[in-house]
Structure 1
């Protein structure tokens, strides 16, 4: 999850906007699946997707990682070369601090514990943390609104994932469709795309003119126009942090 409008923190040791965002959106997870929340929805679907073996390869790109490691936990078991990216320098810095083992970071222990549970406790939370740190090879800038979203030229990836990001970088459903097409350019033929977000709580849905068109049908049409097959859309509605949400989790394969 990433909000490209976050600004670097002011000098003087104040909490960064990245840390504030983590505390707000990620701080209430207790590491269990006793209640409905976006963390369980995304982490469980990622675990099941990777465990199924439908996606193969070594190289995974996470577009709009933000300061979060949530989307990397299961991925790191199957993809030993992960590139993280975000449009915000402060988000990239916060993520890099955790990767470097800085003690002054957000506490991801509940997430590591839940990832361990999903994997049958065959790996400890510390094992998974070490695995993520070993798998992430780079944290680089990105901008999904550009035809070439990454700041540097790279070979196409086996997997591209993006979680709660593109809708924050766009203000219309047309821009969102263009962003998905831009993601496609980073994916090799036969590679897998994974995207997740919330149809209700995002800048597009906040625009009355576009809220009716940002839905599962739009996603399916966009992916079909980009040459994807085997499109699978999972939907769930819930009250998360006292807010009504319509979450989606989509997987597809590029022809």
Structure 2
């Protein structure tokens, strides 16, 4: 398939439940267990465990309805605001947060993060703590000049962006423009965590292929430096999963600080 015919995440809205089942479920046959679950949660646990990233407000602006990457964060921030670009993701998250029938089960991830923290019997408490910390789930339009134009969200102490830039950016110019919008969400001295898949061109949800912006570690590092950010950590973990659903070759994990 010609990559120009791939769908765009924020315009064509992939099915949220199908995405969760394919990339984040607790199914033993789920191909991405090491990459999207175990590796990611361990990196986030280690990053927050240093105690350097803490404060009142964390904003998570990510692609998809996943919330497992926030379990470690909720112990270091009083309030978490989720920003999502499509209604299906918001509905999926709200179903989980409000304990509605048919909500996606994240028990496999609470068990893992509780184990990382040395509290293997604390799964239910961990889930309740995250649900309580999330105060707003809001829809944003990535094509507006400023992501907070209509919703009046204050600048955050920390912003997490998981795969959003991968999913919505068409080229390098687009990436830089959207990166600036995300950086504007941060207070001076605040921290940014960027997570994504390197050298990817597509991911699949159901029968549909969706576009992914292709980049490598050096591109992202240089982009942040160009925007005045101080890169604190930047590493790529080689892909472990075997699946034709997507073609990234590694998981990028980067932390940076906004200069005062």
TM-score (norm 1): 0.85
Matched ranges for 1:48-197 at <5 A = 48-64=46-62, 66-121=64-119, 124-150=122-148, 151-197=150-196
- The one-character-per-residue Cα deviations of 1:74-103 (angstroms, maximum 9, x if unpaired) are 111111200001101010011011111113
Secondary structure of 1:132's partner?
Answer: helix
Residues 1:207 and 1:60: Cα distance change in structure 2 (over 3 Å): closer
Matched ranges for 1:34-45 at <5 A = 36-45=34-43
2:59–2:82 contact (8 Å) kept in structure 1: yes
Whole-Å separation in 2 of the counterparts to 1:108 and 1:40 = 13
CA displacement at 1:234 relative to structure 2: 1.4
Deviating beyond 6 angstroms after TM superposition, the runs of 4 or more aligned structure 1 residues are none
Whole-Å separation in 2 of the counterparts to 1:250 and 1:143 = 24
Corresponding residue number in structure 2 for 1:216: 217
Residues 1:130 and 1:229: Cα distance change in structure 2 (over 3 Å): same
Whole-Å separation in 2 of the counterparts to 1:36 and 1:91 = 23
Unaligned runs of 5+ in 1: 9-16
Whole-Å separation in 1 of the counterparts to 2:221 and 2:178 = 14
Residues 1:6 and 1:67: Cα distance change in structure 2 (over 3 Å): farther
1:146–1:179 contact (8 Å) kept in structure 2: no
Q: Does 1:46 align with 2:39?
A: no
CA displacement at 1:105 relative to structure 2: 1.1
1:29–1:110 contact (8 Å) kept in structure 2: no
2:167–2:211 contact (8 Å) kept in structure 1: no
- The one-character-per-residue Cα deviations of 1:7-45 (angstroms, maximum 9, x if unpaired) are 48xxxxxxxx11111111112565xxxx73221221111
CA displacement at 1:65 relative to structure 2: 5.4
Root-mean-square deviation over aligned CA pairs: 2.5
Residues 1:29 and 1:44: Cα distance change in structure 2 (over 3 Å): farther
1:3–1:66 contact (8 Å) kept in structure 2: no
Corresponding residue number in structure 1 for 2:238: 237
CA displacement at 1:58 relative to structure 2: 1.4
Secondary structure of 2:127's partner?
Answer: helix
2:53–2:76 contact (8 Å) kept in structure 1: no
